[in-house]
Amino acid sequence: NAVDLNRFIIRELPGGELNIAIVGRYSGPKGKVLIWYLREVFSKVDEKVKPFNLLIVGRQVDEIVREVENVSSCFRACRLKQLGFVDDIEKIYKNTAIVIGAGRVAVEAILSGRCVLALGERGFLGLVKRENLYDMERSSFGDCLFEDEFNVDFAVNETIFAIENYMDIINHKRKLVEKVKELHDAEIIEAQINDVYRRLLHKRGQQS
pLDDT digits (tens, 9 = 90+) for 27-84: 889 999 999 999 999 999 999 999 999 999 999 999 999 999 999 998 998 899 999 9
**pTM greater than 0.75:** yes
What gap in Å lies between CA 46 and CA 52, rounded to an integer? 9
Predicted confidence (pLDDT) per residue in 88-123, tens digit:
999 999 999 999 999 999 999 999 999 999 999 999
Q: Which residues of 41-55 are buried (b: 16+ CB within 10 A; e: fewer)?
A: bbbbbbeebeebbbb
Superfamily holding 19-207: Glycogen Phosphorylase B; (3.40.50.2000)
Residue 2 neighbours by CB distance under 10 Å? 13
Q: Cα 144 to the chain's mean position, in Å? A: 14
